[in-house]
Structure 1
């Protein structure tokens, strides 16, 4: 693994706005068209990216961007892990960083902020579903922030004419993992407020 000697970039991590979505799409387009990090094969339009952002906020979950001088350098968001109610305290993260600033601390700043926000909101687990077992950048980023690799699903995707793995990683949010007392209700999830 190559380690950058460049210093981390100073960025502002903040909630994504509709005005950010063209830049978010440009970042995502790199991963769709050139990597197996995303299993999408067609780049969604700006309107679709906006719809996805709105859906995240409608679920009271964070969608964040890292920005420097008006330029979006990366983004991350949390979504539900699975739709059934028993999974309601578990989220899945997604994170993408502009290729020209990889290994400059943007991913760590973004994912760290997402972990903090989801913990504050009362979520208990975060799952990372990483496209391509060769994606050592994402695997290393998640590992550096306390994720453990739980397994690899071999060859479950087909992209660019090759079978691609999925790496599953997992992190506990918060520090209290005790079961609830018999008959006790789980605390309600706080509402995430869009700025």
Structure 2
């Protein structure tokens, strides 16, 4: 064997080492979603379908089904928002959807917020929820319901509580995903006029 194979590797002194470029600040713009955003929205959501219990869906969304949902939200005048990076990447989305189909529920919606995995823990969920609630109020919505998994979504429950959502109920063992039973926590917020 060659002697040089056993020589310790030389290390440059600190002043000669290349320093990594500073990470760009996390930046985004929240705007109304367009149909062109829906493939991004689908990819974000389907990540959670395949990898978590924060949604009880077990089959990925299809683009056709998402377009139908998006069209209904828009027809009702309800907000459907995306957060977009400066480079045009959709980082997350939020929307409200009718709580129930019966006419008497027309002023009550359920909210949904999903962030791309690399966008969590940076304040984006807070920004999206704040904007979603404000736009829902402007749209004439009176009550917002959040239905959140009782395990694995503690950050979502805490976020909603920070915005004044009150816990209104729990249901145990109502969902079965990944070979385990799951429950839900129900939270509610009244939107007041300013």
Same fold (TM over 0.5): yes
- TM-score (structure 2 length as normaliser): 0.82
2:63 aligns to what? 46
2:46 aligns to what? 29
Q: Which moved further from structure 2: 88-97 or 129-138?
A: 129-138
Give the total of aligned pairs. 171
* 1:33 to 1:109, Cα distance in 2 relative to 1, 3 A: same
Q: Which moved further from structure 2: 82-91 or 111-120?
A: 82-91
Aligned pairs for 1:137-148 (under 5 A) are 137-148=155-166
Structure 1 runs of 4+ aligned residues shifted over 6 Å read none
2: CA distance, partners of 1:81 / 1:14: 23
Q: CA RMSD in A?
A: 1.9
Q: Return the structure number with greater helix share.
A: 2
Of 105, 129, 134, which aligns to 1:87?
A: 105
Unaligned segments of structure 1, at least 5 residues: 1-6, 177-195
2: CA distance, partners of 1:48 / 1:83: 17
SS of residue in 2 equivalent to 1:40: coil
- The structure having more radius of gyration, on CA atoms, is 2
The answer to which structure, 1 or 2, has the higher relative contact order (CA under 8 A, 6+ apart) is 1
* 1:163 to 1:8, Cα distance in 2 relative to 1, 3 A: farther
Of 120, 132, 140, which aligns to 1:114?
A: 132
How far off is 1:124 after superposition?
A: 1.2
Unaligned segments of structure 2, at least 5 residues: 1-23
